[in-house]
C-alpha cells in the first residue's frame, strides 16, 4: 500500500507541475500550461494537451495571456536606477485553415498593465489601435510581433511573413522577413505558418539597452546571431512590467498557440524540453460532408455504385495527370538553333529544383520576372533560377545566342551562368547561387547590422577589378559589361566578389571596335561620353568601376535624387580633394586609427577619381588599375580636376533631358529592375536603369 501511494505521489509530481518558479517571480519555465496560473483574456484558453491557445479560427477575435505578477525592471543602487537584463524563450505555432492563408499573428508584450483599452484585432494584434503613436512614453508598451499578413504599404516581405519590434504603436521600429542565420553571414528565410513549431529568443541587454530577437525552426539549436536588433532606451520601461502574449484574427484567421515558455530576469532563460512540449495538429480538412440522403437501393447495390464511381474518378484523375505532365515536361520542342547549344537544362529539373517555382523559394522579383533559389535534383547543387517574363524578352533567338557565348565565361570573380531553358515564350536562366547577396545590400545595411571592414571592402574592389580585366583583355573576346554597380556585385560565402548581370553586356573581337550605340546603364554610373552619344567601350566600364570605388570607400550612393541640387558622389569627392581634405569623404563608420588605413583610403579615393575622369582618354585600362591596386606603379596626378565639377553637372543635365525625351515619346518609364538578396541582375535590353534613383542612389 505504501509503495502504491509513493508511486502515485511521484506520478502526480511529474505530470502535474508544468511550471517551475524561483523566489520573487524573477524566473519561471512552462513545458506546457496545464495547471498554470496565467491570467487569460478574451479567446485564450489552455486546451486539453496543455497547449496555450490564444485564438481559434473565429474571425475578428483577440486572445491574451500574461504572467500574473509583474517583473521588476530596475535595481536601485546609490539612488540611481539601473535596468535589469531579461531573457525569454518560447515556442509558438500558427496553424491556418486548410488550403488558405491565415492571420494575423502573435506578439510578445511587455506592458505596465494587462488592460489595453481600445485595442483592435487584425494587424493591431490585440495590443494597439489606429490612433496610437510612438510619442506616448507614459504607455511604455513594447511588442515583438510575429506577423503573417502585410499591412498597407509594407513591402519588406510580400507574403507578410515577418518579425518586427514595436513601441507604443503598430509601426515597427525594426523589421525583416522571418529567417534564421545558418552561420556568421548566411541566413535562411522560412514560412512560420508552415512549421509545426517556431522557437523564439528575445533578450534585452540593460547595459547596452539593445533588444535582440532570434528565431529558428523546431528542434534546431539557437542560431549564432539574432535576426533583428534595435536600441530600446531603458527610460521606456516602468519600474514593474507585465509580460505575456497577444494574438488576433480578422478577415483571415489562424489557430495561434504557445507551446512552452521560460523567462529569467538578469540571466539566460532556461531551455525548454521541445520533445515534451504539447503537439498541435495541422488543419487537414474543412467541415464534415453532409449526411447522404435515404435510398431505396440495397446496401450491396449502393456499395457497387460507389466502388465503380471511385474507380472511374481515379482513372480520370490519372489520365489528367499523365496528359498534364506530358504537356508540362515531356515534349519540349527544340528549334534549330537550340539543338547544339550546351548548358541547356530540362524544364522538369528546374521545376523540381524550385519546388514548382513556389513562392517560398522566391528570392527576388522585378519587371523582368522572378528569381528562385533551387537545388538541382541530379547534383544537389544550389542554383538561382531566373524566370523571365515573356513580355520582357526582345529578340529571343538573338538573345539566347548571345547568352550561349557569355555562358562560356568562367572566372572566380564572375557569377557563372550554368545554363538556360526555353519553354514556349519563357526563358529561364540558371546561375550559381551566391549566398550573401549583393554588395549594395551589405554596404547599406539592408539585411543585417554587419558593417563591412575596410580590409573587406578593399579586397572586394580588387576582386571586381580582376574580374573586369578578364572581361576586357583575357577572354577570347572583349566583353563590355555596361552596368557595373554595387547591386550587380554579389558576395559569396567567403566574402569574395562575383560580378553578375550580363544582360546588357556586348561582345566584340579584340582587333575590332564596339559598334554598340544603345543608351543603357544605371544613372550615376554612366560615363559622360555614353550619356552624350550612347557609345559603349571598355573605358566606360572603367568609369563605372571608378564610381563603384568611391561608393565603397565613402559608403554613399552615386546620386541622391531625394535631395534637390545635391552633388553627385564624384563631384563631392572632387571638392574634398581640391580643399586638401579628401579623407573627409571616407565612410564615417570606418576607423582611420589602424596603421596604414588612412593612406590606403586616400589611395583608393584618388584612384577612383582617376578612373571616373570626365575625359575617356585620361582613364587607365583595367590592367593598369589592377597594377595600381597591387601597388605596382605610381598613380598619375589628378590636378586637372578643376573644371570637372561643372562638367559633371552639365552631363547630369543632359542625362535628365534625355530621360524626359524618352518618357514623353514612349509614354513609359525607362527602367530595369534589380534584386536584393542574391541579386542576379536586370537582363533589360536597351533600357536605362532608374532603380538606383528610386532607392536614393
Catalytic positions are 483
d(CA 399, CA 384): 19
d(CA 605, CA 627): 16
Look up residue 281 and give its three cell numbers: 495538429
d(CA 373, CA 186): 14
Look up residue 668 and give its three cell numbers: 513609359
Please check whether residue 337 is in contact with residue 401, taking contact to mean a CB–CB distance below 8 angstroms.
yes
Count Cβ neighbours within 10 Å for each residue of 397-422 and write b for 16 or more, e otherwise: eebbebbbebbebebebbbbbbbbbb
Look up cell 500558427; give the residue.
94
**Residue 469, exposed/middle/buried by CB under 10 A (0-12, 13-18, 19+)?**
buried
Annotated binding site for ATP: 387
Please check whether residue 90 is in contact with residue 84, taking contact to mean a CB–CB distance below 8 angstroms.
no
Look up residue 231 and give its three cell numbers: 536600441
Please check whether residue 90 is in contact with residue 260, taking contact to mean a CB–CB distance below 8 angstroms.
yes
Please check whether residue 75 is in contact with residue 240, taking contact to mean a CB–CB distance below 8 angstroms.
no
Look up cell 508511486; give the residue.
7
Q: Which residues lie closer than 8 Å to 225 by C-beta, 6 or more apart?
A: 181, 184, 214, 448
Strand partners, 480: 506
d(CA 131, CA 637): 60
Look up residue 250 and give its three cell numbers: 480578422
Please check whether residue 386 is in contact with residue 501, taking contact to mean a CB–CB distance below 8 angstroms.
no
Pick from 484, 558, 546, 557: which is nearest to 521 by CA? 484
3-state secondary structure of 498: strand
**Residue 387, exposed/middle/buried by CB under 10 A (0-12, 13-18, 19+)?**
buried
Amino acid at each position: 500500500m505504501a509503495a502504491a501511494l509513493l508511486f502515485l505521489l511521484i506520478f502526480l509530481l511529474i505530470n502535474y507541475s508544468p511550471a517551475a518558479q524561483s523566489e520573487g517571480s524573477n524566473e519561471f519555465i512552462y513545458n506546457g500550461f496545464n495547471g498554470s496560473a496565467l491570467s487569460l483574456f478574451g479567446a485564450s484558453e489552455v486546451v486539453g494537451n496543455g497547449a496555450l491557445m490564444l485564438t481559434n479560427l473565429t474571425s475578428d477575435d483577440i486572445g491574451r495571456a500574461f504572467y500574473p505578477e509583474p517583473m521588476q525592471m530596475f535595481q536601485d543602487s546609490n539612488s540611481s536606477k539601473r535596468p535589469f537584463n531579461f531573457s525569454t524563450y518560447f515556442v509558438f505555432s500558427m496553424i491556418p485553415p486548410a488550403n488558405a492563408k491565415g492571420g494575423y499573428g502573435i506578439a510578445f508584450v511587455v506592458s505596465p498593465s494587462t488592460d489595453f483599452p481600445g485595442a483592435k484585432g487584425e494587424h493591431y494584434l490585440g495590443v494597439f489601435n489606429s490612433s496610437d503613436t510612438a510619442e506616448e512614453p507614459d504607455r511604455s508598451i513594447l511588442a515583438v510581433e510575429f506577423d503573417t499578413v502585410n499591412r498597407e504599404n509594407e513591402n519588406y516581405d510580400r507574403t507578410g511573413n515577418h518579425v518586427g519590434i514595436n513601441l507604443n504603436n503598430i509601426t515597427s521600429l525594426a523589421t525583416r522577413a522571418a529567417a534564421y542565420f545558418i552561420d556568421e553571414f548566411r541566413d535562411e528565410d522560412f514560412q512560420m505558418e508552415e512549421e509545426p513549431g517556431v522557437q523564439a529568443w528575445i533578450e534585452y541587454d540593460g547595459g547596452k539597452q539593445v533588444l535582440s530577437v532570434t528565431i529558428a525552426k523546431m528542434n534546431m539549436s539557437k542560431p549564432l546571431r539574432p535576426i533583428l536588433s534595435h536600441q530600446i532606451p531603458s527610460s521606456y520601461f516602468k519600474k514593474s512590467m507585465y509580460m505575456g502574449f497577444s494574438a488576433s484574427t480578422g478577415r483571415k484567421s489562424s489557430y495561434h498557440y504557445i507551446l512552452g515558455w521560460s523567462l529569467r530576469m538578469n540571466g539566460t532563460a532556461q531551455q525548454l524540453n521541445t520533445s515534451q512540449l504539447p503537439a498541435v495538429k495541422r488543419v487537414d480538412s474543412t467541415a464534415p460532408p453532409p449526411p447522404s440522403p435515404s435510398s431505396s437501393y440495397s446496401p450491396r447495390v449502393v456499395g457497387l455504385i460507389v466502388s465503380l464511381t471511385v474507380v472511374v474518378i481515379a482513372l480520370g484523375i490519372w489520365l489528367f495527370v499523365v496528359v498534364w505532365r506530358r504537356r508540362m515536361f515531356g515534349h519540349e520542342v527544340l528549334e534549330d538553333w537550340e539543338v547544339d547549344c550546351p548548358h541547356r537544362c530540362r524544364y522538369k529539373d528546374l521545376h523540381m529544383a524550385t519546388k514548382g517555382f513556389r513562392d517560398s523559394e522566391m528570392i527576388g522579383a522585378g519587371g523582368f520576372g522572378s528569381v528562385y533559389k533551387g537545388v538541382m535534383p541530379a547534383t544537389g547543387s544550389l542554383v538561382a533560377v531566373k524566370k523571365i517574363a515573356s513580355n520582357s524578352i526582345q529578340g529571343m533567338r538573338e538573345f539566347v545566342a548571345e547568352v550561349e557565348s557569355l555562358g562560356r565565361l568562367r572566372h572566380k570573380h564572375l557569377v557563372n551562368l550554368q545554363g538556360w531553358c526555353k519553354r514556349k515564350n519563357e526563358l529561364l536562366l540558371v546561375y550559381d547561387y551566391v549566398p550573401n547577396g549583393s554588395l549594395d545590400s551589405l554596404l547599406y545595411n539592408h539585411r543585417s547590422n554587419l558593417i563591412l571592414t575596410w580590409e573587406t571592402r578593399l579586397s572586394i574592389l580588387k576582386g571586381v577589378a580582376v574580374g573586369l580585366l578578364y572581361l576586357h583583355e583575357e577572354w577570347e573576346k572583349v566583353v563590355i559589361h555596361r552596368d557595373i554597380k554595387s547591386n550587380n556585385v554579389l558576395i559569396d560565402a567567403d566574402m569574395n566578389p562575383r560580378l553578375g548581370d550580363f544582360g546588357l553586356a556586348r561582345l566584340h573581337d579584340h582587333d575590332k571596335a564596339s559598334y554598340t550605340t544603345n543608351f543603357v546603364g544605371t544613372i550615376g554610373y554612366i560615363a559622360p561620353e555614353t550619356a552624350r552619344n550612347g557609345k559603349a567601350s571598355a573605358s566606360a566600364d572603367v568609369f563605372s568601376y571608378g564610381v563603384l570605388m568611391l561608393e565603397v570607400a565613402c559608403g554613399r550612393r552615386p546620386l541622391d535624387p531625394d535631395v534637390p541640387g545635391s552633388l553627385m558622389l564624384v563631384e563631392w569627392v572632387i571638392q574634398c580633394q581640391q580643399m586638401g581634405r579628401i579623407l573627409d569623404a571616407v565612410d564615417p563608420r570606418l576607423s582611420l586609427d589602424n596603421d596604414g588605413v588612412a593612406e590606403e583610403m586616400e589611395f583608393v579615393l584618388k584612384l577612383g577619381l582617376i578612373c571616373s575622369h570626365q575625359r575617356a582618354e585620361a582613364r587607365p585600362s583595367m590592367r593598369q588599375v589592377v597594377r595600381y591596386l597591387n601597388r605596382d606603379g605610381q598613380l598619375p596626378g589628378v590636378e586637372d580636376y578643376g573644371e570637372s565639377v561643372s562638367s559633371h553637372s552639365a552631363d547630369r543635365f543632359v542625362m535628365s533631358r534625355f530621360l524626359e525625351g524618352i518618357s514623353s515619346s514612349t509614354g513609359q518609364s525607362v527602367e530595369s529592375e534589380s534584386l536584393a538578396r542574391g541579386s542576379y541582375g536586370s537582363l533589360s535590353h536597351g533600357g536605362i536603369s532608374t532603380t538606383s534613383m528610386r532607392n536614393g542612389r
